[in-house]
Structure 1
Amino acid sequence: MPQIQTDISIWCRSRGPLPGGNGAGPSASRGSTSATGGSVDSGTRGRQSRATGRTQHPATAIRVVQWNAEGVQRKKPELQAFLRDNNIDIICIQETHLKEDRRFFVRGYDTFRRDRPTGHKGGVLTLVRHNIPAAMTAQTADGDLEYITIKTFLQGEELSITNVYSPPTTKLDLHTIQLPNEKHLIVGDFNGHCPAWGYDSTDARGEDIQDWMTDNQLILINQPDDKPSYYSRAWKKSSTPDLAIATEEVEKRTTRTVNDQLGGSDHLPITLSIADMQTILEYHRKKASWNFKKAKWTKYQLHAESLRNITFTEDINHNVKELTQTILAAARKSIPRGFRKDYKPYWSQRLACLHQRLSEARESMEQSPSAETTTMHNQLKEDFNKTKTQELQQSWQEITSTIGLDTDTGKLWRLTKILNEDSMATRGPTVLEDSGTFHTGKRAANLLADVFETESTIKVPPQRKKEVAEQLETRLRQQRNAAPPMTSDLTMAELVDAIKRLKCKKAPGKDGVCNEMIKHLGPAARTKLLELLNQSWRSGVFPSAWKEAIIIPILKKDKNRKQKTSYRPISLLSCLGKTLERMINKRLMWHLETNNLITNEQSAFRKNRSTEDQLIYLTQSIENAFQEKKKVIATFIDLSKAFDKVWKEGLLLKLLTAGIAGRMFNWIKSFLCHRTARVKLDSNLSYAVKIREGVPQGGVISPTLFVVFINDITNSLSRHISKALHADDLAMWSAAESTATTKVRMQEALNITSKWATDWCVTVNSLKTVATCFSLSNSKETLQLTINNQAIPQEDTPTYLGIKLDKKLTWNPHIKEAEKRATRRLSIMKKLAGTKWGASSNILRQVYMGHVRPVMEYGAAAWATAAKSNTSRLNKVQNASMRIITGGLKTTPIHALEATTRLPSLDHRREEKVIVQYEKLQRLPSHPAHQHTQQLTKNRLKRSSFNHLAKQLERTQTSFLPRTPEEQEPLQDAEEWNSQLSKVLFVTDIPGVTSKREQQDAVLKNLTLEMMHQDYNASVWTHIYTDGSSDGAIKNGGSGILVRYPDGHTLSRSLPAGELSSNYRAELTALREAVSLVSEHPPSHAVFLTDCRSAVQSLQSPKEQLERDTQRLLCTLSQSTNVAVQWIPAHCGLSGNEEADRLAKTGSHLEQTRPTVSYSEAKTLVKRHYQTTWNAQHSLPSDDQMPNLQRHQQTILFRLRTGHCRLRAHMHRLGLSHTPNCLCETGPQTPEHILQTCPLHQEARTDHWPQGATLQEQLWGTKDSLILTTSFIQATKLEV
């Protein structure tokens, strides 16, 4: 069982009281000072009285606890309970025994720690409640004394707290502690003796402490008669090594109380209550959030429809305000708002009772020291720790079995993130340090706002500014009539498509309108929204309210949180404004792609382009150079804050140069200008600052604008320089036999790039820009390249687009890193399940595919040629994952693991990825990597490359694909601004219909017929049923069409869809041919009825040529006919659908053509081919019920099926059993023997199968049969 209590206690819950227990929790109230309901402060230092009721701690005091934990990791549950029930503000812990590589956090508290770098003990930790801003101001440098100092910011004052631990065997050097000239509290374990705090005599340490206090005018809070805080079980003696020291003002306001024991530590926790101090109220506020799961959307839609009554004025800002207020008013009436439940750490009543008994035993041991009381205390401590571990494990096991992760994927990934420690670093209010002054709250927010404003400012030379302004003015005068996408009104089809693409659970902008609210607007509200968006579009005015961003600062990885430059901004923009951006961005991309205005080297933010394309282009170029005895020098350029520092005037000029004119240019200009932002920090909003330059961070259209801005960065490079762009990631390389020649070319390219950067006010980060010489030679090449007169670092293993390269392209560094990351993530699966408890195999498989495998497959097509000795390391990680999923032993054959988990080998998947990538590049003639796919492979060296492997696989695996691929260019979006498209009605649902799995065919049929009678009455509408079919979903496609006219006349067609055809292609072919057929004699009303929902969806936003052709035909037909395309459920008894299906099957047997195949079709066919091949090699019943069993049952059954289990026959093969024979001595102890013939278990066998059962039924039968099998094994008490 892995160590889980520090990671998963946030998911654990109490299971009820211990039978016979008193129900007491760890502590009663804020006034209580013990996790077991112990003593409370009576107002006199050092004296205690038993709690008689719940006392409320004064609101004008803070509570600070000091405690030597003697190891805090395993005491976390009781610590959390103590903090919660005693309402502790700050706790200073000594002897944490933590290591730097182990995360530790307590929900609701900020963590400051200093771990001992060597040894196994020591360490100090201070936890500060999240409503108190705090910052670490000093810590141990070197030496024996361990301490950290934090500064806390309270209402109207500041308090510094130093947490000290001095081991008794080391030198006490208190003068190393930096003491600020302000209110100060020093607490810790000093291990010094002096009568002033209860000892009989003074030792050298005690004298040092007294001298140090005198020198620094500090006062001891401890009193001689205070209750001792430490008990030595070895010496059977109490003492007080734990001291509290303060400046005079703090000491006067502090009351010290020694509490009952906590977690079995020999040191007692001590509470220091400091009067007349209170936390800042603004940090107590909680913000209510919308609960969309409980929203009444019908009611919301009804209220939002009141938008139809609003009359818009010429003032667009006023109109935006009206629309926003109406939407929010409807939301407030229909969507509940609330607060998240306060976190409650795991602490059961059983643990509380045991902890109370341990406290009583501790008190008895101190009052009556003896071997008997010490033994009793030690035994209770052992029992408490054992019970705590068992309960945490049991609770976690229950949760992983019942939490419903298989039905709630959101919950699954949140839990995965927590287990991966991605969200453990919970932080309190931010404290920033600037020039020695600390800032919190609004002042800190203003400080960050100033930083972000400065970062958006660039210096443009006056002469360059004048040049660009003149060119801009000239271009504006030369504007011609703009194309329709830049001038025509926005359509409802565009709005519907934009709304469909909105993602839920995204934070709203300043106006508070969420995507969920926009998605659920009714027809009238959407019409009014479109009217507002068109007003912005026509007038070229982007509303002011949508220009203000709310910036959430995010701490950069491994950065100092006190530094104002350690944060990156995340901008929250208006969801309404982003909806408009999405619509216009689609038109902008259509113009750029249709006219081939984006450089071929750019792969970011473009359809059918990816980082993998660029990686293959680079690495294949290097491999080709190796084959030609050449060396390659590559430079990876880093542009500093490229998005945030885009020169707006320069961008506008480039837009005009690209032919952007008319309404689109005016709108983009307004969109870019006069933008403001406010920083939101700990619920505090800064003042508004101007964002002077840069494309708006978080904007939908911003990436496209950046692509336009950087588009010409490579235009002036010579033909000897190859280049690849992914957004602002620029790679340049050149190959030649002579390194000197290549260096000259590369330096010239760097000079050109530097000049471009200067001309357009872009900064090249010379420190992060690196150069590499790729060569098979073992000699070290010194490059000595420069940019901006600064040397470029030379790196043998550069990272490009997330892939670690090496100079010989062995891929060893990258695969090692991938293995390391995947292995780390594998621990998540181990925490989710054991062999006898935890999540089901389906959930574990989902976690592996979504969280572990992607790490091992990123960029796989580029490095698929890596040596088997390297890739085998990744295979081992997958094998380990499959054993976790199945519960199998390490000896289980890989073939059996793959078959049961339905996980193809990584080698198999890499092959598939290579051929899919190759098919894509075949269809992108403008992509620079395309030329590699057309070249013959070079074979001077016995090295494989992407091109070698792809061509080999093409011959052996995908010879069935045609060599006349359908080109994917230009990469156009649908022309949704075409007004004809808005006349076609696309419907993908039916009222009352949920799922074919949940509803019977008769119900589906009746609901469909009712809908058709109401919406498409057969007396008026012509019903056109279409269907498609293909063999194995990859070949011999057939399309069926059945037309039923209102007069009763019918028309049918069976058509071939192509020798290579998926079911989807056959469905689309049927729709296209049906539209053509009906268009010959257009009826007044026509509804196309198809059971392919994805076809209906794709026709609204077509990507492939077949989809675009069908949409175009529908638009033409809609000029004379009322057209609808309606989805219907398949095979539920609708006569028209069944007849179309029969016609499609007939069509699949007709003589087939061999049409060109699109990329998406080729991808589908390749995946289907590999899946079919793999299925043929891994036969498994399609109705296997094992995944539906509980975790322990799945493990038992899998081991019985494979024979790799703990029975004697298998253990003997491993040398772990002296004999293979069963105890009955009638044969080997195998699964078949135990289940079928062993006489020792005949009674249990008869109880479970009175009529007998075959081995096939026992291992592969129904769910009930499998449960009987696992129950039988448990009854035999055999460990399998």
Structure 2
Amino acid sequence: MKRNFTSPENQDNKQSKMSSSPQFDTTSITTDASDVIGLQLQQSLLSSNLINEMTKMIITSKSFTDAIAGIIDNQLKQYVNHIKQLEAELKQVNDRAIKFQSKLNDLDQYSKRRDLIIHGIPLTQGEDTSQVVLDLAKSIGVNLDIKDLYATHRLRSRNKQHSPIIAAFVRYSDRQQLYSKRRDLGKGTNKQVFINEHLSSLNHQLFTYARRHLDKKKVFTRNGSVMLYQGQDFNAHYQGWSRNDVVSTAEGMMLNTFLQSHNLSQLVVGVTRPSSVPKLDKSDHSFIQFDVKTQILRKTKMTRTIYDYKTANWELLNNICSKIPFDTLLRNYTNIDEKAVAVEEILLEQVNRVIPHKVITLKPRDKIWFSDDLRVLHKDKVRMYRKMISKPTLVNKNNYEQAVVKFRKACVQAKVEFYKKINHKVSVSSKNWWSLVKHTMGRDRTTAIPALKDKNGDVRVDVQSKVEILNAHFANICTWSGYSNFSSVADKLPLASSRLSVFTATYRDVRKILQRLNCNKSTAPTITNRMLRYLEPSITQCLTHLIRVSFSTTSFPDHWKGGYVNALFKSGDTLDPTNYRPITLLPAISKAFDNVNHKALLLKLEKKGIRGKALEWLENYLSGRSIRTILDGVTSSSLKINKGVPQGSVLGPLLFLIYIDDLALQIKTNIRLFADDAILFFYHTDPIIATTMLNDDLSRVEEWSKSWGLNLNLKKCESITFSSRWYRPRA
């Protein structure tokens, strides 16, 4: 900006000139004005120098630099934490995406389980693809009908003359029947035709990549899964095996995704190639030394005696047993135990003489339709294979191929006959129908117990150790070690007016019991229910005599007190023996009945009016019991139990009901009992009153259970409120 300083007398002329013309005139500067300007310039220069000096002092000071560095450091830490949080969230999203992709792949593969893809059949004008598939199946010995095919069509391909045919079957068994005969296509005129499984998109990519980079003989498919085995250097151009940021190729990323989705990890993370150039006669890889701390699980073979009841001559067997002088033979024995064992041995001897039976060997991996004839053919096939390997001649090769074909045909025929029998059994009873459902769903076989921890925490894998661990746990469940003074509590119970001092058994009663036995019920590996039922005309008199001797001597045979336990996995850790439930054949043990104290039960029986020999017999019936656990054909040692009632018998549930009979006397509200289940209910217009009444009764139930040594399973207890109001307060 320019300033003009003028004299006062010239101001009027200046104003007139400015108003008349837009030009600016510069006048002379006086001496006073120049001094003012110089002073202002000097002050401005001094102030700018001062600012510069102060700025230099501030910038070069340590406190200033430390403050700025602290601000930047804090900001960087916030950025780093934010980046780490984003990386963690990204990893979670990536893991979820991998799991979701794996589930989608499994669903996609499951939808294609009944499909087959046929390659190599030339395209003809106006062809019927369904008839082409049927003709191909017929050429290799598979008889199919048009009703067995759900749909058929040709897929798009660059080579239209050899585009593949996809065939969808109605039943999986028909698909497997054709797929199992695919190797026969290499004979005759069908050498260029191949049958493959219909794979999902991801499995197809993995299969194609593996076939391209690995030995084709080591890559195959089985039930829609890609199977491969590699015993040499596995080069997939992928270094990290666990981090996505070092993936070098798309195939490496796909392989990494596959490994992560199947919980596979790389054990060797270091460099396996030496830095120096090796000699020509040495490998370019370093040796890898490792230890595998595990034991090979070998499944034990189990033997079982199978009786052919359909072809049994029961009339002949009854005639033989009726001529046996049981009365004379039993006089040679003094106690009831020896008599019971003698009768059982005599009956088993006659049964084995008359009823056709055989001892079969059960293997864990045997199919349900696998027979002894197939096992013989399989051994012949293995023998021919070993002979061909030792002496690879043309004759041995042909013999091996013939043995393979013979074994496969026998397997197909055995499966067909087995399922025909099942279809006939399904229409007879509902139990057979459910057995077929379990077999179809793969639930007809018991789950193997791989390993168990003992009391010291060591993992045991051998069958003998596992069966002893389970048996010790089950025996501990049925062993009483707590409060045993129940007399004071039993004195408060009401005394029954009627008395029962002696048990009696008649020929008619025993006969009715034998005629009503359930032949399909599982029993211990001795005399079965079917044998007792069909031998009723000839053994009723003998069994009646045994029962009368047992009642008169107040002694129950110890031979019949033992139980054979099978372990059934419930949930949780498979290594923990407490997560297995005992299923006993004779007598059965159940969580609902295994807490009954024998002394307390006898006191209650006495209050019910059972006295004398009847009470003594029941005491002997409950005491001296033992259990054995069976696992994979191995039986554990016998352990004594002193708690619980034998649920598998007729008396078991009755004794348990007597034990909890006085529970209803303690309740002020309403109660309903069914076996070991109890329901308390109360209705009132005021929910607070209903809640108070039920809580008081729950306290009484708790006191009663503690007094009689029973534990309540709180995990199975529920509280439910039923009301017609919209607002339902929770009790």
TM-score bin (small chain): 0.5 to 0.7
| 1:343 alignment counterpart | 367
* 8 Å CA contact 1:642, 1:728 repeated in 2: yes
Question: In the alignment, which residue of structure 2 is the partner of 1:564?
Answer: 577
Determine if the alignment matches structure 1 residue 551 to structure 2 residue 501.
no
After superposition, where does 1:743-822 map in structure 2 within 5 Å?
A: 743-779=691-727, 781-783=729-731
* RMSD between superposed Cα atoms in Å: 5.4
Which residue is equivalent to 1:39? Answer: none
How far does residue 331 in structure 1 lie from its aligned partner after superposition? 0.9
Q: Kindly indicate whether the alpha-carbon contact (under 8 Å) linking 1:291 and 1:335 is maintained by their aligned counterparts in 2.
A: yes
Residue 653 of structure 1 deviates from its aligned partner by 1.0
1:573 aligns with one of 562, 573, 586: 586
Give the Cα–Cα distance (whole angstroms) in 1 for the partners of residues 422 and 700 of structure 2. 62
Q: Distance in 1 between matches of 2:505 and 2:425?
A: 42
Query: Secondary structure, in 3 states, of the residue corresponding to 2:300?
Result: helix
2:321 alignment partner AA: A
Distance of 1:343 and 1:408 partners within structure 2: 24
* Partner residue of 1:513 out of 513, 527, 530: 527
1:269-328 C-alpha deviation (Å, 9 max, x unpaired): xxxxxxxx9874x70233222222222222322332315342333311110111011011
1:728 corresponds in structure 2 to 676
The corresponding residue for 2:55 is none
**2:590 corresponds to 1:643:** no
**8 Å CA contact 2:564, 2:586 repeated in 1:** yes
Letter in structure 1 aligned against 2:709: C
Distance in 2 of aligned mates of 1:408 and 1:428 = 31
Q: Which residue of 2 aligns with 1:299?
A: 316
Residue 452 of structure 2, aligned match among 410, 427, 432: 432
Q: Distance in 2 between matches of 1:96 and 1:528?
A: 71
Counterpart of 2:473 in structure 1 is: 451
SS at match of 1:423: coil
User: Which residue is 1:211 aligned to?
Assistant: 270
Q: How far apart are 1:410 and its partner, in Å?
A: 6.9
Partner SS state of residue 289, structure 1: strand
Q: Which moved more, 1:405-414 or 1:731-740?
A: 405-414
SS at match of 2:316: helix
2:477 is equivalent to residue 529 of structure 1: no
Q: Distance in 2 between matches of 1:533 and 1:425?
A: 38
Q: In the superposition, relative to structure 1, how do residues 334 and 400 fare at CA in structure 2: closer, same or farther (>3 Å)?
A: closer
For the residues of structure 2 that align with 1:170 and 1:528, how far apart are their CA atoms? 75
Residue of structure 1 in register with 2:663 after alignment? 713
Note if contact 2:487-2:603 (Cα within 8 Å) is conserved in structure 1. Answer: no
* Secondary structure of residue in 2 paired with 1:294: coil
- Percent identity of equivalent pairs: 20
State the secondary structure of the residue aligned to 2:691. helix
Q: Residues of 2 paired with 1:337 and 1:19: CA distance?
A: 40
Which runs of no fewer than 5 residues in structure 1 stay unpaired? 7-16, 24-71, 83-93, 99-120, 127-142, 147-165, 178-186, 191-204, 216-222, 226-244, 252-276, 347-390, 579-639, 784-1280
Tell whether the 8 Å contact from 1:643 to 1:695 is kept in structure 2 after alignment. yes
Q: 1:561 deviation in Å?
A: 3.5
Q: Does the CA contact (< 8 Å) of 2:566 and 2:630 recur in 1?
A: yes
Change (3 A) 1:404 1:747: closer
Question: Does the 8 A contact of 1:174 with 1:209 survive in 2?
Answer: no
Change (3 A) 1:507 1:741: closer
Q: 1:729 to 1:3 in 2, by over 3 A?
A: same
Q: 1:329 to 1:97 in 2, by over 3 A?
A: farther
Residue 775 to residue 173, structure 1, CA distance change in 2 (3 Å): same
Shift of 1:542: 0.6
The residue number in structure 2 matching 1:657 is 607
Select 1:670's aligned residue among 597, 620, 626.
620
Question: Is 1:404 aligned with 2:421?
Answer: no
User: 1:169 maps to which residue?
Assistant: 253
Which of the two has greater strand per residue? 1
Corresponding residue of 2:162? none
**Residue type matched to 1:334 in 2?**
V
2:517 counterpart of 1:502: yes
Q: CA deviation at 1:441?
A: 0.8
Q: For 2:630, what is the secondary structure of its paired residue?
A: strand
Instruction: Tell me, yes or no, if the aligned pair for 1:307 and 1:525 is still in contact at 8 Å.
Output: no
Do the aligned residues in 2 keep the contact of 1:457 with 1:693 (CA within 8 Å)? yes
- Name 1:1163's counterpart in structure 2: none
CA 1:563–1:122: 2 relative to 1, 3 Å: farther
Superposed CA deviations along residues 394-416 of structure 1, whole A, max 9, x for unmatched, are x9899679943476437842554
- 1:315 equivalenced with 2:335 (yes/no): yes
175 and 419 in structure 1: CA distance in 2 versus 1, 3 angstrom threshold: closer
Partner of 1:467: 488
Structure 2 residue matching 1:449: 3-state secondary structure: helix
The alignment partner of 2:563 has SS state of strand
Partners of 1:661 and 1:322 lie apart in 2 by 31
Larger radius of gyration: 2
How far apart are the structure 2 equivalents of 1:77 and 1:644? 50
The answer (yes or no) to whether the contact 1:560–1:566 under 8 Å persists in 2 is: yes
Quote the offset at 1:660 in angstroms: 1.9
Do residues 417 (structure 1) and 430 (structure 2) align?
Answer: no
Taking the aligned partners of 1:444 and 1:398, their CA distance within structure 2 comes to: 34
Post-superposition CA distance 1:147-202 (Å, at most 9, x none): xxxxxxxxxxxxxxxxxxx983169599999xxxxxxxxx9998xxxxxxxxxxxx
Indicate conservation of the 8 Å contact 2:561/2:625, yes or no.
yes
Go from structure 1 to structure 2 and tell me whether the alpha carbon gap of 1:661 and 1:776 turns closer, same or farther (over 3 Å shift).
same
Per the alignment, residue 1176 of structure 1 pairs with none
Give 1:742's aligned residue.
Answer: 690
Unaligned runs of 5+ residues in structure 2 are 1-109, 115-135, 143-171, 183-198, 204-223, 230-239, 244-249, 275-281, 371-410
3-state DSSP of counterpart to 2:504: coil
What's the CA shift string for 1:698-747, capped at 9, x where partnerless?
Answer: 122100000000111121222xx111111121111222222222222111
TM-score of the aligned structures, taking structure 1 as reference length: 0.32
Q: How far off is 1:97 after superposition?
A: 8.7
Distance verdict in 2 for CA 1:737–1:343, change over 3 Å: closer
Q: What's the CA shift string for 1:34-88, capped at 9, x where partnerless?
A: xxxxxxxxxxxxxxxxxxxxxxxxxxxxxxxxxxxxxx99997799999xxxxxx
Q: Distance in 2 between matches of 1:501 and 1:722?
A: 36
SS of 1:714 mapped into structure 2: helix
Q: 1:695 to 1:3 in 2, by over 3 A?
A: farther
| Counterpart for residue 160 of structure 1 | none
Counterpart of 1:294, as a letter, is T
Cα deviation for residue 18 of structure 1 reads 7.5
For residues 644-670 of structure 1, give each alpha carbon's deviation from its aligned partner in whole angstroms, at most 9, with x where no partner exists.
101111111111111122333222111
Contact 1:73 1:96 in 2 (8 A): no
SS at structure 1 position matched to 2:252: coil
Report SS of the residue matched to 2:566: strand
Structure 1 residues 669 and 212: alpha-carbon distance in aligned structure 2, compared to 1, 3 A threshold: farther
Cα distance in 2 for partners of 1:696, 1:681 equals: 21
Match of 2:352 among 301, 309, 332: 332
Distance in 2 of aligned mates of 1:172 and 1:736:
64
* 1:643/1:481 CA distance change after superposition, 3 Å: closer
User: Using a 3 Å threshold, how does the CA distance of structure 1 residues 667 and 294 change in structure 2: closer, same or farther?
Assistant: same
Say whether the 8 Å CA contact 2:300–2:632 is kept in structure 1. Answer: yes
